[in-house]
Amino acid sequence: MQSSDAGRPIPRVARSNAVHAMLVAVPAPVAQDVERDLCATAEGRACRVIRVESFPEPLPEGLLVLWDHGGPLEAVKARCQWAHARRLQTRTWLVVLTKREGEEAEALVEAGADECVAPPGTRWGARLVALRRRAADGDAQALRRARDMFQGALDAVPEPLFIKDREHRLVAVNTAYCRLLEQPAEALRGTVTSALISPVQAETAWRQDERAFTTGQTVEDEGSFTDAKGRSREVLTQRAAYMLPNGERFLVGLVRDVNERTRLETQRRLAERMTSVGTLAAGVAHEINNPLSYVTSNLAYLWERVAQPVVPAEQLEELRQVVAEALEGAGRVRSIVRDLRTFSRTEEEQHGPVDVRRAVEDAVKRMRDEFQQRSSMACDLEPVAAVHGNEGRLAQVVTGLLTNALQSFGDRPPEENLIKLRVRPGREGHVLIEVEDNGQGMAPEVRQRIFDPFFTTRSPKGGTGLGLSICLTLVHAMGGHIEVASEQGQGSLFRVELPALALPPESARPVQAVAAVVEEPSQAARATRSLRRLLLIDDEPAVGSAVSRLLRNLYEVHVIQDAREALTRLSRGEKFDAILCDLMMPGMSGMDFLVELERLAPELAPRTGLMTGGVNPQAREFVGRRARELLEKPFERDQLCTFVETLMQ
CA separation for the pair 3, 19 (Å, rounded): 13
Cis peptide before 634 (omega within 30 of 0): yes
Express each pLDDT in 559-599 by its tens digit: 999 999 999 999 999 999 999 998 888 888 888 999 899 88
From 344, 342, 347, 305, select the one nearest 323 (Cα to Cα). 305
From 575, 534, 581, select the one nearest 561 (Cα to Cα). 581
SS3 431: strand
Domain with CATH 3.40.50.2300 in the chain: 21-142, 533-648
Phi-psi region of 522 (alpha: psi -120 to 50; beta: other; left: phi over 0): alpha
Indicate the class that CATH gives domain 352-499.
alpha beta
Q: How far apart, in Å, are the Cα atoms of 414 and each of 244, 369, 380, 400, 419?
A: 45, 13, 21, 20, 11
Please give the helix or strand (H or E) that residue 390 lies within, else none. none
Express each pLDDT in 513-524 by its tens digit: 333 333 434 444
Q: Would you state the torsion angle of the CA atoms of residues 328, 331, 333, 337, taken in this order, to the nearest 10 degrees?
A: -170
Domain with CATH 1.10.287 in the chain: 274-344
CA separation for the pair 397, 403 (Å, rounded): 10
Q: Which residues contact 402 (CB under 8 A, 6 or more apart)?
A: 363, 364, 367, 419, 421, 435
Residue 339 burial by CB count (10 A; 0-12/13-18/19+): exposed, middle or buried?
buried
| Phi, psi (rounded to 5 degrees) for 57 | -135, 120
Domain with CATH 3.30.565.10 in the chain: 352-499
Specify whether the CB–CB gap between 608 and 578 falls below 8 A: yes
Indicate the class that CATH gives domain 153-261.
alpha beta
| Phi, psi (rounded to 5 degrees) for 27 | -55, 150
CA separation for the pair 434, 497 (Å, rounded): 9
CA separation for the pair 160, 177 (Å, rounded): 4
Identity of the residue numbered 307: A
CA separation for the pair 636, 334 (Å, rounded): 10
Q: Would you state the torsion angle of the CA atoms of residues 591, 596, 598, 604, taken in this order, to the nearest 10 degrees?
A: -90
Q: Hey, CA dihedral for 587, 590, 591, 597, is it positive or negative?
A: positive
Strand partners, 578: 534
SS3 147: helix
Fold of 533-648: Rossmann fold (3.40.50)
Q: What pLDDT does 345 receive? A: 42
Indicate the class that CATH gives domain 274-344.
mainly alpha
HEC string of 160-179?
A: CEEEEECCCCEEEECHHHHH
Q: What pLDDT does 633 receive? A: 78
CA separation for the pair 437, 439 (Å, rounded): 5
Q: What pLDDT does 541 receive? A: 83
Q: What pLDDT does 528 receive? A: 45
SS3 403: helix
The angle that helices 260-306 and 356-366 make with each other, rounded to 10 degrees, is 70
Specify whether the CB–CB gap between 299 and 326 falls below 8 A: yes
Domain with CATH 3.30.450.20 in the chain: 153-261
Cis peptide before 120 (omega within 30 of 0): yes
Q: What pLDDT does 193 receive? A: 73
Fold of 21-142: Rossmann fold (3.40.50)
Neighbour count for residue 188 (Cβ, 10 Å): 20
From 590, 595, 628, select the one nearest 612 (Cα to Cα). 590
Q: What pLDDT does 525 receive? A: 43
CA separation for the pair 177, 184 (Å, rounded): 9
Instruction: Give the distance, in angstroms, between the CA of residue 208 and the centroid of all CA atoms in the same chain.
Output: 34
From 337, 393, 330, 329, select the one nearest 365 (Cα to Cα). 337
DSSP string for 534-598 = EEEE-S-HHHHHHHHHHHTTTEEEEEES-HHHHHHHHHTT---SEEEEESS-SSS-HHHHHHHHH
SS3 430: strand
Q: Longest Cα pair distance anywhere in the chain, in angstroms?
A: 93
DSSP string for 269-299 = HHHHHHHHHHHHHHHHHHHHHHHHHHHHHHH
Which residue numbers in the chain have pLDDT < 50? 2-3, 6-17, 342-348, 459-464, 504-529
